[in-house]
Copies of this chain bind each other. A is one copy, B any other.
């Protein structure tokens, strides 16, 4: 995958040849570990090929990682050629893990995630919309986090902490610049959570839709793609976009705000951002529930699911609501396809439910509105990681230091 690169001996600094070789080897350990962490089981030959190094180098790298307990080699029945069993390298899931946190509009989640990406254990709690404050959220998450560390097997080491947040995150300082649904601004969420956890590890924070996009790209509905558009429904609509294998971040980290693309400039619904007719205002949870005449009933995932179920059971108002929302969603997606020429568009969070309930309408609108060259060519899919895309992305933030320099991350 294009996100992994083998580190060369040159760079911006001036280093002695010895130091350069040393650095290259350490970085290459990270590159190898990343491949194994992402793909689960990779043969020696495949690894050597992907990294462009020879057999003796790959054996040295594997031996070093096996010695530290990060990977193990085993015989694979499935990938071996006839007559000769092939050795595959697998991530060792018991040795290191990360804590991943997810602050969504309606709930908070904490999980212990092992090398290889498996969620080993999780805790979850509801948020009261507009009823909590940041201290409360940090308290709950830190409690969850410490409990997860306490029950981890003896000897397992927490190597990083990542968090997904439903807000704009400044790339320069990692602050939550704005949580739109509460109106909170300039939150020092990462440092606050790190302090309360007391693990001596920083907490890296990312925007929920950006992280959902990364996770779906690396190990979900976008595996094998180069360009991916991810739309995330969490009451409002967020976006994460992968361009040539990299996350689109923009100058300050606020890119891919697909929810604030104006699709309905005439009689558009007012949006929380202050504008009107934004995609989020037309296809978010409130728009759907109002159009279906269900403003007093359940909200959140349950509310959205109820509309989709009702439409399936013949409820005309629910059907009409999904059709309307599907039309606007189709226009938004068509615009994104014309802009990004992606291989795949992924609907995550509540939008995965909405897309399931309005797929034919969305698909029709998209095919009517995209350029001919894109027609019937782009795959539209729901998130393969379900509601855990954002959590999985947060885990990847936690693993970043380990995958960049495994030996440094494991040093006592």
Contact = CB atoms under 8 A, between A and B. Distances in A.
Given A8-B10, A251-B342, 11 more contacts: A6-B10, A7-B10, A168-B373, A227-B250, A251-B343, A252-B341, A255-B341, A260-B335, A261-B335, A263-B265, A274-B372
Contact of A257 (B7, B227, B248, B371): B371
A368 B276 CA distance: 10
A254 interface: yes
Contacts of A8: 7-11
Contacts of A241: 339
Given A251-B227, A334-B262, A338-B261, A53 B10 contact: yes
Interface in A328-375: 331, 334-335, 338-343, 368-374
Copies assembled: 2
Contact of A373 (B178, B243, B369): B178
A262 B369 contact: yes
Interface residues of A, number: 61
Contacts of A261: 335, 338-339
A12 interface: yes
A341 B249 contact: yes
Contacts of A370: 260
Contacts of A178: 372-373
A77 interface: no
Interface of A: 6-14, 24, 52-54, 168, 177-178, 225-227, 239, 241, 243-244, 246, 248-258, 260-266, 273-275, 331, 334-335, 338-343, 368-374
Given A178-B373, A338-B261, A373-B254, A24 B10 contact: yes
B373 A341 contact: no
Given A9-B9, A335-B261, A372-B178, A246 B244 contact: yes
Nearest to A264: B265
A265 B335 CA distance: 12
A250 B340 contact: yes
A371 B255 CA distance: 11
Contact of A6 (B11, B168, B371, B373): B11
30 contacts: A6-B11, A8-B8, A8-B9, A8-B11, A9-B10, A10-B52, A10-B53, A11-B52, A13-B52, A178-B372, A225-B251, A227-B250, A227-B251, A227-B255, A243-B244, A244-B246, A249-B341, A250-B342, A251-B342, A252-B341, A252-B373, A255-B339, A257-B338, A257-B339, A258-B339, A261-B335, A262-B331, A264-B265, A275-B369, A339-B339
